[in-house]
């Protein structure tokens, strides 16, 4: 307990120092001095964008980024770095060309409707090209499925219920006392506990768990808010210059699927997107994307399916000559200053 408390204090101190430096513009001379040489490219990854009217249970800034934070990041990267689209980044890597300046590529995972509603106008305003990796099985259909990812389905069930308590044992989840659902902190905790249990399950078992949860909480899934993009919105992003890549079909961690099924998702998701946007799909991102969630065999299968690049969520800088079938990325941290500081540490480590 004491160690966790001290760690929390340390994070707050770092946040305060980084914020003071940022808002006092202490970093400005530093950026002017060191932008000449380019060491590599960072891929900044976003998922959902939220605003003051959004209905959600906060998990992390990398999962739900407030639109004000997103806009400030766009303003800063467009001012201090070379902002590079995904295709150009892959060209540099394939050709082994040195980067003239430290470079940033902006991408989104999954396919949330706020990427179109909130993200596209801001990217256009700041001249920032973006890419979207869309999970095709989660695209919302007109008059049909809302297409929500399982974690959003869980979130909406908790937010929508009138019940004030839930026994995890009724869902077959052992080792936890009854969960209080009265207040937002209680809902946040329930979301974490149930989310961990659901994530460990295979897709069929996870769907069964969520169906039983909805029945226990007296929730009708038809009442859920739409949080995913429609194909019309995906096409709108493509027309606005966004690169559309694949994130699979079911958003299942690929290494948990039989290899043949994973290969089917690679090929079929590519075909579905190309059919909808009438453009080639050249890039793939592994769902979840941690080191244990993909393999060299799966990356090779991506190449054979016709993808030029494959992205993980392993953190790091992409250096000239790096393998485009093993792109590294970086998530957003607790604040704009801390995110910029994390970015600079990657570039400085490559010096």
pLDDT of the residue at 349: 83
pLDDT digits (tens, 9 = 90+) for 34-67: 555 678 999 999 999 999 999 999 998 899 999 9
The Cα-based distances of 305 to 95, 250, 270 in angstroms read: 21, 18, 8
Give the chain's domain count: 2
Q: Which of 175, 196, 223 is the last residue of a domain?
A: 223
Residues 86 and 105: beta-carbon distance below 8 Å: yes
Burial class of residue 324 (count of CB atoms within 10 Å of its CB; 0-12, 13-18, 19+):
buried
Query: Do 64 and 51 contact (CB within 8 A), yes or no?
Result: no
CB-CB contact of 93 with 321 (8 Å): yes
Q: What is the 3-state secondary structure (H, E, C) of 167-214?
A: CHHHHCCCCCCCEECCCHHHHHHHHHHHHHHHHCCCHHHHHHHHHHHH
3-state secondary structure of 313: strand
pLDDT digits (tens, 9 = 90+) for 109-127: 999 999 999 999 999 999 9
Q: What is the pTM of this model?
A: 0.91
CATH of the domain at 323: 3.20.20.370
The rounded Cα 59 to chain-centroid distance in angstroms is: 12
Same-domain pairing of 212 and 232: no
Indicate the helix (H) or strand (E) that contains 275.
helix 259-277
237 plus 126 within the same structural domain? yes
Mean pLDDT of 258-265: 96
Provide the pLDDT for residue 345. 87
Residue 129 lies in a domain: yes
CA torsion, points 225, 228, 231, 236, in degrees to nearest 10? 100
| Of 201, 223, 245, the domain-final residue | 223
Same domain (yes/no): 296, 182: no
Task: Please state, in angstroms and rounded to a whole number, the distance separating the CA atoms of residues 87 and 241.
Answer: 12
pLDDT at 203: 85
Residue 176 domain boundaries? 150-223
Contact 317, 54 (CB under 8 A): no
Tell me: do 245 and 134 sit in the same domain. Answer: yes
Q: Are residues 254 and 342 part of one domain?
A: yes
């Amino acid at each position: 307990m004491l160690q966790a408390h001290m760690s929390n204090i340390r994070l707050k101190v770092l946040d305060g120092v980084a914020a003071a430096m940022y808002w006092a513009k202490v970093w400005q001379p530093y950026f002017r001095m060191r932008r000449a040489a380019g060491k590599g490219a960072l891929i900044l990854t976003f998922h959902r964008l939220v605003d003051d009217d959004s209905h959600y249970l906060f998990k992390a800034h990398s999962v739900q980024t407030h639109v004000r934070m997103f806009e400030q990041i766009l303003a800063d990267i467009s001012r201090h770095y070379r902002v590079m689209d995904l295709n150009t980044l892959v060209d540099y890597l394939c050709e082994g060309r040195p980067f003239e300046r430290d470079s940033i590529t902006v991408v989104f995972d999954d396919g949330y409707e706020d990427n179109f509603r909130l993200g596209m106008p801001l990217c256009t305003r700041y001249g920032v090209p973006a890419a979207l990796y869309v999970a095709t099985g989660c695209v919302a259909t007109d008059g049909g499925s809302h297409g929500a990812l399982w974690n959003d389905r869980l979130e909406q069930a908790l937010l929508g219920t009138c019940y004030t308590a839930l026994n995890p044992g009724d869902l077959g989840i052992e080792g936890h006392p009854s969960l209080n659902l009265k207040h937002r902190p209680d809902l946040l905790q329930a979301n974490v506990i149930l989310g961990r249990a659901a994530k460990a399950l295979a897709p069929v078992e996870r769907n069964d768990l969520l169906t039983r949860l909805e029945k226990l909480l007296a929730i009708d899934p038809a009442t859920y808010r739409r949080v995913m993009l429609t194909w019309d919105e995906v096409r709108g992003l493509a027309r606005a210059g966004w690169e559309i890549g694949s994130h699979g079909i079911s958003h299942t961690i690929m290494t948990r699927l039989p290899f043949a099924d994973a290969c089917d998702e690679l090929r079929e998701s590519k075909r579905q997107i190309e059919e909808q946007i009438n453009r080639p799909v050249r890039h793939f991102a592994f769902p979840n994307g941690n080191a244990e969630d993909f393999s060299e065999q799966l990356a090779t299968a991506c190449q054979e399916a016709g993808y030029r690049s494959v992205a993980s969520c392993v953190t790091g800088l992409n250096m000239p000559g790096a393998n485009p079938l093993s792109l590294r990325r970086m998530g957003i941290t607790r604040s704009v200053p801390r995110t910029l500081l994390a970015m600079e540490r990657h570039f400085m480590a490559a010096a």
